[in-house]
Structure 1
């Protein structure tokens, strides 16, 4: 994962914090349901989502350095063993005031079968070289969020798909596990209505996440399909129930390019 600190810092290695699964907690109920649904397929045993938002320097965009950065990051698809999927590219649309204020211009989204795979990716020489040679010199700011997918079904990603990313902070007194549980119930309704595929979960990398405790990606066949859900009554109702738990949410959209497919759609 990408970090603006010196690469000798322990921040470039993920904090592999487990969720506190108290038997009475809502987290346990969600985790148990997700684990049961995923147990039949090794491909979705413990999928990890890794998101990095990058705000590039204006001069980097003008000179082509940002394009070179994207190429270097995308090349990791053939250089780092075990990557289920990786996409690097520009942000298409900042879809919330918080996203506009933060101003990310580019994004990296990768998927890993398990936390050790994410840790191996972070320290792989090709990844370190891409960070040192292209990200650090050209980034004004980065934000990184990692989560274990708690959705009960797969959310494959393929070239040309539109993806909506949502990062959220909980209101005071609200536990991230409560958001996970609410999203699990809400997306079940929305998915049944619109065929939406999602991945969501509680962040386990707080040091790099700027306070964001929850992440979700919703995958659509196209931008037209993404835009079509905006007026759907069931989707709007589902969102309303979740917003009451949130202090802040960052929303942005991107499209997976042809090179975003690291050999096959990621069935995670």
Structure 2
């Protein structure tokens, strides 16, 4: 499978103002569900990505670290939340990423869209956003998609993840891009150990125009860096590049707090 860098990059916001919608609107579906085991190996997860640009004074004072802790703690209290990682961005890998300037990323997964809606409305999530994110963030961007890849992309502590967000060129339909990426990843195979999840963004109001998201998961930063020299990956990028307008690429490393239980055997 492929990892798309600056030439083929992919990343979520808060309410009607840019800082007030960290997730979807509330839904009553599955609201009474029991907390799920932390697992990132769901075959077709709903991916939720939030990019956060933290105020410099928040980083210096420790408020940013408190924000990370408050969001990471949602793993033990929110029903339907199968995996969450919150932490600093490792590297900004494209001009669009540098222009946006996110300092932190939240990546979480759910089995269904209603599970994501439950997360959005949960009192603990609302409290974390109101008490820690809103006071300390200059800007946020959010993207949500349902994984269109054939295989899961499990994430474990220490995994290195490349996030790519993309806008398609005029006249190109996003499903066309998804289909092309599926073919390209199949052709590239498990390039350098990459495991991917990608799909069409279904939260356009919060995404700053990004229509497509992708994460490529590696066991380490070294494996992520090694993919740059893979010929099949370069061929896959070349196949997709003509469909793309603006792309955003960044890397992050999953911290030890994002611990998951093994996925159920039927997944």
TM-score when normalising by structure 1: 0.84
Given that residues 14 and 118 in structure 1 are in contact (C-alpha distance below 8 angstroms), is that contact kept between their aligned partners in structure 2? no
Given that residues 48 and 114 in structure 1 are in contact (C-alpha distance below 8 angstroms), is that contact kept between their aligned partners in structure 2? yes
Alignment deviations for residues 209-253 of structure 1 (CA, whole Å, 9 cap, x no partner): 000000000000000000000011110110111111000100000
Alignment deviations for residues 52-107 of structure 1 (CA, whole Å, 9 cap, x no partner): 00001111111110000000000001111221100000000000111000000000
Could you say if the C-alpha distance between residues 205 and 266 of structure 1 is closer, same or farther in structure 2, counting changes exceeding 3 Å? Answer: farther
Given that residues 5 and 11 in structure 1 are in contact (C-alpha distance below 8 angstroms), is that contact kept between their aligned partners in structure 2? no
- The alignment covers a number of residue pairs equal to 240
The structure richer in helix per residue is: 1
Residue in 1 aligned with 2:233? 235
Structure 2 residue aligned with 1:248, among 241, 246, 249? 246
User: Which runs of no fewer than 5 residues in structure 2 stay unpaired?
Assistant: 1-11, 28-40
> Secondary structure in 2 aligned to 1:181?
helix
Residue in 2 aligned with 1:13? 24
Q: RCO greater where, 1 or 2, for CA within 8 Å and sep 6 or more? A: 2
Structure 2 residue aligned with 1:98, among 75, 96, 101? 96
Is 1:184 equivalent to 2:195 in the alignment? no
Is 1:149 equivalent to 2:160 in the alignment? no
User: Which runs of no fewer than 5 residues in structure 1 stay unpaired?
Assistant: 17-42
Cα distance between partner residues in 2 of 1:192 and 1:129: 40
Residue in 2 aligned with 1:3? 14
Is 1:264 equivalent to 2:244 in the alignment? no
Residue in 1 aligned with 2:7? none
Could you say if the C-alpha distance between residues 181 and 10 of structure 1 is closer, same or farther in structure 2, counting changes exceeding 3 Å? Answer: same
- Displacement of 1:14 in angstroms is 4.5
Given that residues 86 and 109 in structure 1 are in contact (C-alpha distance below 8 angstroms), is that contact kept between their aligned partners in structure 2? yes
Could you say if the C-alpha distance between residues 176 and 168 of structure 1 is closer, same or farther in structure 2, counting changes exceeding 3 Å? Answer: same
> Secondary structure in 1 aligned to 2:198?
strand
Is 1:123 equivalent to 2:132 in the alignment? no
Could you say if the C-alpha distance between residues 193 and 64 of structure 1 is closer, same or farther in structure 2, counting changes exceeding 3 Å? Answer: closer
Given that residues 85 and 266 in structure 1 are in contact (C-alpha distance below 8 angstroms), is that contact kept between their aligned partners in structure 2? no
